[in-house]
Chains A and B, each alone.
Chain A
Amino acid sequence: MSHEIHEHDVLVIGAGGAGLRAAIEASALGVSVGLVSKSLLGKAHTVMAEGGMAASLGNTDDRDDWKMHFRDTIRGGKMMGNWKMVEIFAKEAPDRVNELEEWGALFDRTEDGRIAQRNFGGHRYPRLAHVGDRTGLEMIRTLQNHGIHQGVDIYMECTIVELLMDGDRIAGAFGYWRESGKFVIFKAKAVILATGGVGKCYRFTSNSWECTGDGQALAYRAGASLVGMEFVQFHPTGMIWPPSVRGVLVTEGVRGDGGILKNNLGERFMFNYIPEMFAAETADTVEEASRWLEKDPNARRPPELLTRDVVARSIRAERLAGRGSPHGGAFLDIASQRSPEYIKRKLPSMYHQFKHLGNLDITKEPMEVGPTCHYIMGGVLVDPETAGSDVPGLYSAGEAAGGLHGANRLGGNSLTDLIVFGRRAGQYAAEYAKSLKSSIKISDAQLKQVEKVAIAPFEDSGKENPYQVFQDLQSCMELNSGIVRVKSELETCLVELEKLKERAAKVKVEGNRHFNSGWHYALDLRNLLTVSEAISLSALHREESRGGHTREDFPDSTEKFEKVITIVKEKGGKMTWKHEPKSEMPEELKELLA
């Protein structure tokens, strides 16, 4: 085999917030680090994050502390979050955020010059460090500009197709250069998967083309377990009109800064949907909600700031009751709540986005919004402390990993997740690589096999258009495994997915390997199919509704299912599932939940 070969102690796949933070940490520990990404450096999905990153700095409201953040995250995750992960997360968050500032991030400030924090759904106190509504850009650019001086070798526009194994431990990864189509082999003692989300399973999503669940699928094929894949977050406020931008996110910051939701009768309907669990901390009159906006510390939060799953379902219910907006959503109105100057200063890119793409001035008119697929809470099953998967040498962090957010993620918790667990993954992967004395070997047979798979779409075996299969998959998931699920549809979905797998095997691409988008889509398809199956399979067997998983046939949460997490794993070429008991939270942490 005469492929290009690179050797590293640690290979990080993914250059979003999690990948970059991991690479920085690993290389600071003195091991050689490679960083691979499908797109150019600084373009990863993290760049799109808007609202902010949650950390209990207590700058804007000093009643906040890690315990409160712990409580909000567990409760927001509908008790499904891994308590150990959440504890580490809440405790380490402030340090990680301050560290970004040290590296050049410029957050908005408080009056006395500290990092300002904003309100967000599900967070008891103002907790999100932010820069207007482009916090993700700030994070990724800061990490990028810090990272390039750390001696990390960066491989841009290179897609990993498969992980390589030496027996049952990790040995590296196999990929191709998007530009030339040539194959490349990375030999590595440890691999960190930081490949982000799976949004492209669905038709309407806030996610970019990169989010095809590569990390989850790579880990699965390497024998690792996936956890909680049924929990998919549909963000309540995506743009729904015009069609070309359908799915593009409208940040929760709009509601955090005072925006309200109305139906076509002009009613502020969220007051009708306050769940019992949050009744004690949610305002039940318009009057109280507006006092909260005026910063009255005794007023409770407006119901628009309930967790995302609740808001998304409420908008859907309004639409089904015939009270939806003209294009099947709800009205999000900030124009009547805040001055034009305030809106432009606090939400500049929302203003820009609607002005350019929607032909609408949000300082004057309400926006039309509806649910859009946004985030997957599930992912690679990892150890809470080390971010290691159950395959030796394989680590995962960021959206690709599962466990932290439970059944529903709070806004702003993802960006913090990236830096807290990105750092840990980097640290433990580096330590593992250092501790590994024997050298790694990759068999030729393995390489031949992967190469065959990668090249298959050029063979003359079929005539399916990759774009068409891609779209049909998205429609199938949207229809059968989307925001509200039911047994019969989930079963249909699994059958349909089998058919789609067969069609995917017959995909034919035109042209040569030189920057061939059709080929790229064809290879991504494989991963999408795997994660789609994992989502639908996990969803079928959780017979209750909880957070990001809503079942029409089982509308309530049950104690039985609160105790278990869903694990998906490959066995003998087939996807298998099981429910495992959730680890028990220690008493002293339970007390924090009150």
Chain B
Amino acid sequence: MKEVTFRVFRGDKEKGELKEYKVPLSEGMVVLDAIHEIQATEANDLAVRWNCKAGKCGSCGAEINGKPRLMCMTRMDVLPMDKPVTVEPMKRFPLVKDLVTDVSWNFEVNKRIRPLKPQPRQADGTHRMMQMDVERIQEFHKCIECFLCQNVCHVMRDHKITDFIGPRFLIRCATLVMHPLDTENRLRELKDDFRIGYCNITKCCTEVCPEEIGITDNAIIPLKERVAGAFYDPLAWLWRLLTGKKADQRT
């Protein structure tokens, strides 16, 4: 049976290194299978997060040959197997151990986003929404919170800017801002608190998203356009002056 060499990061906050392991290849194998194999045979205490093994829970993000990906959805046959395969933890988050990082910052950020505040229900006790109105935001609900986009975004990864909420939470804001029932104004906080202006549309988030969500095109840019409309549009400003409407009024 063919063998593949893996170089897996082993270590913690203090010290760490890439360790080599050899794993027999089986048909249809994914990187997570190899990690499990290593765990079961050579390194019982290897730390790794996973749950569904089907790309649905977003637990198993890592950097495979330098690229942020889900381990359970990366088939061995998409990687060059004549060379060692490197598996490292996501680099933008503080390391816990081996392939596990501390992603709790993301959960803290999520708390800052105010929840949906829907209009009152209709007389029959239900809400009416047309497929046409929800389709656009249903795409954003596909997010499995793997945080690969948060990991790769250079604003945080390289420039260490901490007051930017990142692509994952910009798409969450987008669902609320574009929600047909929501009654809150959210544009000012997008600009001032969530700092959407930090995104420079370089699209790495979209490139790595395993759910293939059009993060930049369908969520961030439309939000930026709304923010531009509310705060950077002299014509709109004039219009508001004449009509007395507020800047971040919902459309």
Contacts and interface: CB of A to CB of B under 8 A. Distances in A.
A503 to B, nearest CB: 16
A243 interface: yes
Interface string A206-223: 001110000000000000
A43 B51 contact: yes
Contacts of A156: 104, 107
A514 to B, nearest CB: 6
A337 interface: no
A244 B126 contact: no
Contact of B115 (A145, A154, A243): A145
Given A39-B51, A131-B141, A146 B44 contact: no
B137 A106 contact: yes
A503 B224 CA distance: 61
Contacts of A148: 107, 110-111
A40 B111 contact: no
Interface residues of A, number: 66
Contact of B141 (A47, A106, A465): A106
A352 B29 contact: no
Given A245-B28, A357-B28, A517 B47 contact: yes
Nearest to B129: A113
B53 interface: yes
A243 B27 contact: yes
A104 B115 contact: yes
A42 interface: yes
B141 A137 contact: yes
Contacts of A241: 28
Interface residues on B, range: 35 or more
B195 interface: no
Contact of B134 (A48, A106, A245): A106
Contact of A245 (B54, B111, B137, B144): B54
A134 interface: yes
Nearest to B41: A467
B127 A101 contact: yes
A484 to B, nearest CB: 26
A113 B39 contact: no
B118 A102 contact: yes
Interface in B1-53: 12, 26-30, 33, 39-41, 44-53
A510 B44 contact: yes
Given A102-B118, A357-B28, A47 B45 contact: no
Contact of B56 (A102, A112, A137, A517): A137
Interface stretch (B92-100, B152-160, B199-207): B92-100
B138 interface: yes
B161 interface: no
A244 B76 CA distance: 11
Nearest to A154: B107
B59 interface: yes
Q: 3 nearest interchain CB pairs? A: A242-B28, A518-B44, A511-B45
14 contacts: A103-B116, A106-B141, A109-B130, A145-B172, A148-B107, A209-B50, A241-B28, A245-B28, A245-B54, A352-B55, A465-B40, A510-B45, A516-B44, A517-B47
